[in-house]
């Protein structure tokens, strides 16, 4: 039994009071302390240090030790012993050590997988969903109908060097030949894993159960370690991702992590299985959505990639946009979106040649941050396009099952989504969470909200929030030990509720009436100084009942303080929809925040004027209304 498994089996969540959690990122290892005080769990201290998985140090535990030592200095509690190990308390009165240590990791490139299936749009896509949901980066998808010749597929498999391979194909009891042919492509390719040596490449088979014997025969050779789990698509109408995801987590811990530099030692320290960072974020988002009974979307935009997570009606999806980021991949964003699309968000004159040099400089020096307002405006314009493109990709991936023949009545035509239609409906997006440097560390909360509204274009009623210090990974793995405590920290310290957006779906002529609104306070919040909005759209002082109206093309901010709740009735003009149908009145409960309630009458889909002077006039009006730059 591994150290982690041994520790976990004896862990009693009821005795926990002090927990240390780390996230070993590709460049930085972040540590937080979680403490139970007066019966409530809170996040109390945070430390970080460079990750040390690569040469010359090549031992991930050194970065962990350095990050935890910063916690030690800040908290005044000794957490590291003379041998560099994390100290455990011997009793509740013990002044040194913690009760448990947990960790996530994406160091060394994270979990890199290849998936394979018989049909790219069906079983291969289910395999990709399973891998992404487990926190993997999917390097490529091999399918029987992906239009590459067999020798091209074999060459690609050899080049990839994945950490593991997930194979799917066929419904239970169906044809075995095609899925066996896929296996016969992988076996002769003999892909060498990244860590080489005596490492046995893990293969997970999650296809037609009738083909298990034939698959075992194909991989009955040195160099492969085959695991068999339940079929991802036992029938065309049902997707069963759970067993494959769980096996991916097990294999990640037992095989991949055990061969990475220093991870065997880290595993022995941990009181719970180490999780891939994105997998932990996905788990905590699912817990949040389940607890509140809502649909939620979370975005994490980094230097090289942008991850989008969604939970709709309990169905979880994740996508990785590997070419969309704010430093290493910033040039790809500008190329894919087009510089014209980036500059459409800029309301001041900028020299395009200078901007292209700025993009190249960011790629060479990825840790630099904007030093001028102009640089900040441009960076946030690029972020809008990166977020927009990542969300488009996510919505196209998070779909109903393809290949399903649906029998529908005439009434169903108006209510049932088609197979292949996106599950991520902007109108039913109850919570939108922002994470990643450009969003979490924006100088003003208004800038974070503006980037979310412009890129995701939520419709109807949407709560906006951000991960305060990117602790969702830590809380995701902590939830595997103590789910209730993790969710308590999510509510109190992790998610900063910015406010609520009330956005009109539909388009109309500028300056024509769009909708009227009435707000009735149902729960008092924290003290609010003055009124957030200086727009003549309504009459309100602090948290009080209010009413107003907006014209097409306008946006306004109305105070509703943190902790406050209100019932908002919206009466849209003909052609505008807030969730009840075009032109129909709707009432929904919203929560307040530092930004109160943002009423958005710019229309959906959001269309900016093509004329430069008109567009800049609109941008300046919106920036002033939300006080984006002060």
pLDDT in tens, 516-551: 999 999 999 875 433 344 343 444 446 889 999 999
DSSP letter for 25, please: -
Distance between CA atoms of residues 485 and 102, nearest Å: 14
Confidence at residue 196, expressed as pLDDT on a 0 to 100 scale: 55
What pTM value is reported for the model? 0.86
- Quick one: pLDDT band at residue 479, thresholds 50, 70, 90? very high
Beta strands in 333-486 (DSSP E): 431-435, 460-467
Residue 605: cis peptide before it, omega within 30 degrees of 0: yes
For residue 342, pLDDT over 70 is answered with yes
Rounded-to-integer distance, Cα 201 and Cα 199, Å: 6
DSSP annotation of 518: E
| Cα 179 from Cα 326, distance rounded (Å) | 39
Give whichever of 47-51, 96-100, 188-192 has the largest mean pLDDT.
96-100
Across 239-243, 353-357, 503-507, the highest mean pLDDT is recorded for 503-507
- Report residue 619 CA to chain centroid gap: 28
pLDDT, residue 198, reads 63
Identify the H or E element spanning 299: strand 296-301
Measure the CA–CA gap between 71 and 442, rounded to whole angstroms.
25
How far is residue 94's CA from residue 79's CA, in Å, rounded to a whole number? Answer: 12
Cα distance between residue 159 and residue 153, in whole Å:
10
Tokens 């031992």 -> residue = 59
Is 30 buried (19+), middle (13-18) or exposed (0-12) by CB count in 10 A? buried
Whether 324 and 390 have beta carbons less than 8 Å apart is answered as: yes
CB atoms closer than 10 angstroms to residue 456: 26
Sorting pLDDT into bands at 50, 70 and 90, what band is 116?
Answer: very high
Q: What is the SS3 assignment for 494? A: helix
Q: How far is CA 226 from CA 189, 200, 208, 217, 258, in A?
A: 16, 9, 15, 11, 17
**Predicted local confidence at residue 614, as pLDDT:** 95
Q: How far is CA 159 from CA 152, 182, 192, 198, 552, in A?
A: 11, 17, 9, 19, 53
pLDDT band at 412 (very low <50, low <70, confident <90, very high): very low
Q: Alpha-carbon distance 142 to 153, whole Å?
A: 7
Q: Would the pLDDT of 622 be above 90? A: yes
Mean pLDDT confidence for 324-350:
92
> In whole angstroms, what is the distance from residue 588 CA to residue 572 CA?
14
Cα torsion through 48, 31, 492, 271, rounded to 10: 170
CA dist., res. 266 & res. 58, Å (int): 13
Element (H, E) at 312: strand 306-312
Least confident of 290-294, 355-359, 509-513: 355-359
In the predicted structure, residue 69 carries a pLDDT above the cut 60: yes
Mean pLDDT of the chain, nearest integer? 88
Higher pLDDT, 190 or 272: 272
Q: Has residue 109 got a pLDDT over 80?
A: no
Q: Are 132 and 79 in contact (CB under 8 A)?
A: no
**For residue 185, is pLDDT > 50?**
yes
Answer yes or no: are the C-beta atoms of 532 and 500 closer than 8 Å. Answer: no
- Label residue 181 by pLDDT band (50, 70, 90): very high
Question: Per-residue pLDDT for 397 more than 50?
Answer: yes
pLDDT for the residue 534: 38
Separation between Cα atoms, residue 163 and residue 200, nearest integer Å: 10
Q: Which domains does the chain have, with CATH numbers?
A: 3-106 (3.30.420.40), 110-240 (3.40.50.280), 274-401+420-499 (3.30.420), 504-630 (no CATH)
E runs forming strands in 161-262:
164-167, 201-205, 224-228
Residue with tokens 């002082």: 541
Give the three-class secondary structure for 302.
coil
Strand partners, 23: 30, 104
SS (H, E, C) 391-422: HHHHHHHCECCCCCCCCCCCHHHHCCCCCCCE
Name which of 230-239, 472-481, 497-506, 601-610 the model is least confident about.
230-239
Report the first-to-last Cα separation within the chain, whole angstroms.
57
For the chain, what is the radius of gyration of the CA atoms? 26
Q: Region 272-298: what's the mean pLDDT?
A: 94
Report the number of secondary-structure helices (H) and strands (E) in the chain.
Answer: 19, 22
- pLDDT, average across residues 392-407: 73
Residue 354 pLDDT > 70, yes or no?
Answer: yes
Find the mean pLDDT for residues 578-590: 97
- If you average pLDDT over residues 460-478, what whole number do you get? 95
d(C-alpha 372, C-alpha 360), whole Å: 17
Which of 513 and 249 is assigned the larger pLDDT? 513
Task: Express as a percent the part of the chain with pLDDT over 70.
Answer: 91
- Residue 356: the pLDDT is 87
pLDDT band at 404 (very low <50, low <70, confident <90, very high): low
Q: Decide which of 535 and 434 is more confident.
A: 434
Residue 189, pLDDT score? 85
pLDDT of residue 410: 36
pLDDT exceeds cutoff 70 at 168: yes
For residue 445, pLDDT beyond 90: yes
């Amino acid at each position: 039994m591994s150290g982690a498994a041994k520790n976990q089996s004896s862990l009693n969540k009821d005795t926990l009071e002090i927990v240390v959690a780390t996230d070993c990122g590709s460049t930085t290892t972040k540590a937080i302390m979680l403490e139970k005080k007066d019966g409530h769990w809170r996040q109390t201290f945070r430390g970080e240090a460079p990750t040390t998985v690569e040469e010359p140090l090549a031992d991930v535990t050194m970065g962990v030790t350095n990050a935890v030592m910063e916690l030690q200095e800040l908290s005044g509690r000794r957490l590291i012993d003379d041998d560099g190990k994390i100290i455990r308390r011997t009793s509740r009165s013990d002044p040194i050590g913690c009760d448990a240590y947990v960790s996530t990791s994406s160091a060394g490139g994270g979990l890199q997988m290849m998936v394979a299936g018989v049909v790219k749009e069906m079983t291969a896509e289910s395999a990709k969903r399973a891998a992404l949901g487990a926190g993997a980066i999917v390097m490529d998808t091999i399918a029987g109908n992906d239009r590459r010749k067999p020798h091209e597929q074999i060459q690609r498999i050899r080049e990839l060097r994945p950490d593991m391979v997930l194979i799917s194909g066929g419904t239970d009891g169906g044809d075995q030949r095609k899925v066996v042919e896929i296996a016969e492509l992988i076996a002769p390719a003999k892909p060498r894993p990244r860590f080489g040596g005596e490492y046995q490449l893990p293969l997970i088979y999650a296809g037609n159960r009738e083909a298990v014997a034939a698959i075992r025969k194909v991989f009955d050779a040195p160099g492969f370690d085959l695991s068999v789990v339940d079929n991802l698509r036992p029938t065309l109408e049902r997707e069963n991702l759970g067993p494959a995801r769980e096996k991916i987590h097990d294999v990640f811990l037992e095989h991949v992590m055990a061969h990475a530099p220093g991870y065997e030692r880290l595993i022995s320290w941990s009181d719970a299985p180490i999780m891939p960072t994105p997998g932990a974020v996905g788990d905590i988002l699912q817990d949040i959505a389940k607890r509140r009974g809502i649909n939620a979307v979370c975005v994490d935009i980094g230097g090289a990639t942008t991850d989008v997570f969604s939970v709709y009606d309990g169905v979880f999806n994740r996508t990785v946009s590997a070419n969309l980021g704010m430093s290493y991949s910033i040039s790809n964003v500008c190329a894919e979106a087009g510089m014209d699309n980036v500059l459409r968000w800029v309301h001041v004159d900028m020299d395009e040649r200078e901007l292209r040099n700025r993009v190249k400089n960011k790629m060479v020096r990825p840790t630099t941050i904007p030093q001028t307002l102009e640089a900040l405006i441009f960076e946030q314009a690029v972020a809008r396009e990166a977020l927009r493109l990542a969300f488009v990709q996510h919505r196209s991936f998070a779909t109903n099952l393809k290949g399903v023949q649906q029998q529908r009545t005439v009434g169903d035509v108006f209510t049932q989504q088609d197979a292949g239609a996106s599950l991520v409906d902007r109108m039913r997006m109850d919570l939108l969470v922002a994470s990643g440097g450009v969003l979490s560390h924006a100088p003003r909360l208004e800038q974070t909200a503006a980037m979310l509204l412009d890129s995701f274009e939520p419709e109807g009623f949407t709560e906006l929030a951000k991960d305060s210090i990117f602790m969702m990974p830590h809380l995701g793995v902590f939830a595997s030990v103590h789910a209730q405590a993790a969710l308590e920290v999510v509510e109190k310290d992790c998610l900063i509720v910015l406010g609520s957006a009330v956005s009109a779906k539909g388009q109309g002529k500028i300056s024509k009436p769009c909708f009227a609104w009435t707000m009735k306070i149902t729960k008092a919040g924290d003290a609010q100084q003055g009124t957030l909005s200086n727009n003549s759209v309504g009459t309100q002082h602090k948290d009080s009942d209010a009413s107003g109206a907006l014209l097409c093309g306008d946006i306004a901010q109305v105070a509703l303080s943190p902790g406050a709740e209100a019932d908002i009735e919206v009466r849209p003009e003909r052609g505008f929809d807030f969730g009840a149908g075009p032109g129909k009145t709707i009432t929904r409960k919203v929560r307040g925040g530092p930004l109160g309630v943002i009423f958005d009458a710019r229309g959906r889909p959001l269309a900016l004027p093509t004329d430069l002077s008109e567009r800049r006039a609109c941008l300046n009006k919106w920036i002033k209304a939300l006080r984006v730059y002060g």
